[in-house]
Amino acid sequence: DGSGSMNDPFSPHPQGFNAMMEMIRDWVKTLPLSGESSSVGSASAASTGGVRLGLVQFSGKTGSVNPATGGVVNSAQKTPSTVGSGGRLSGDLVQLEGDITWHEKNYMAQLTYIEEGLNMAANMLTNDSPLDGRRRIVIIITDGVLMDGDRLAAARAKLQQLQVITFGIAVRRYKAHSASDDAAEAALKPVVSEKETDHFMSLTM
């Protein structure tokens, strides 16, 4: 989630977005990465072991609507081809750390629109992850109500067609739940895979 509300303090961190990215950096270092460069693409041999990841940041402006589709344009981004993984799946720690650093420096800071981000993730999996029995997983991390939650049926169906398991993490500013936290959780739960209690968490950073 690259929305502007992630710029707020998230106790004990002075700023939520960078805290989230550093949390992801620490998590990536613990994973059994495949070691494969993003250039391997769909020829990846890591079907029975080893992890590859891709990062997508989502956020957009209410007025930036494609009249043909009704969706908010320019509301998701991945690293350009010359940085880190080049916006692709990678099992290489150096590439992934390059992706994380790029996202930290290119914080979108707009509103919480996710449709384009889900489609970007689906395209990344389509291009780089063959259907050969390996697990395909999307993890959504957000703190706010999804502004386009009523538009996600097609994106969800595409992920399901790709046999993707979708997890959702709602991050809170404080240990105690607020009304805003409750609203964000209610908006995110319908996007995750069934059974929702197995694929959703609410956490502090």
In sequence order, the β-bridge partners of residue 111 are: 60
Which tokens in the block code for residue 31?
Answer: 């994973």
Q: Dihedral (C-alpha) 143, 149, 153, 155: value to the nearest 10 degrees? A: -50
Give dist(CA 14, CA 141) in Å, integer.
Answer: 18
| pLDDT of 194 strictly over 80 | yes
Mapped onto helix, strand or coil, the DSSP state of residue 191 is helix
Q: How far is C-alpha 42 from the geometric centre of its chain's CA atoms?
A: 20
Whole-angstrom distance, CA of residue 171 vs CA of residue 149: 18
- pLDDT (0 to 100) of residue 195: 87
Round to whole Å and give the CA distance between 162 and 36. 22
Q: Above 80 in pLDDT, residue 9?
A: yes
pLDDT number for residue 157: 96
In this prediction, residue 131 carries a pLDDT of 82
What's the pTM? 0.94
Which residues is 3 bridged to in the sheet?
110
Banded pLDDT at 47 (limits 50, 70, 90): low
Buried b (16+ CB within 10 A) or exposed e, 24-42: bbeebeeeebbebbbebee
Rounded mean pLDDT of 49-77? 91
Q: Mean pLDDT in the chain?
A: 94
Largest CA distance in the chain: 46
Q: Kindly tell me if the per-residue pLDDT of 46 is higher than 70.
A: no
Q: Convert 104-161 into a string of H (helix), E (strand) and C (coil).
A: HHCCCCEECCCHHHHHHHHHHHHHHCCCCCCCEEEEEEECCCCCCHHHCHHHHHHHHH
Q: What is the C-alpha separation between 134 and 132, in angstroms, rounded? A: 6
Mean predicted confidence (pLDDT) in 95-119: 98
Q: Alpha-carbon distance 151 to 19, whole Å?
A: 29
- The two structure tokens encoding residue 175: 């240990």
- Quick one: pLDDT band at residue 66, thresholds 50, 70, 90? confident
| Contact by Cβ (8 Å): 61, 110 | yes
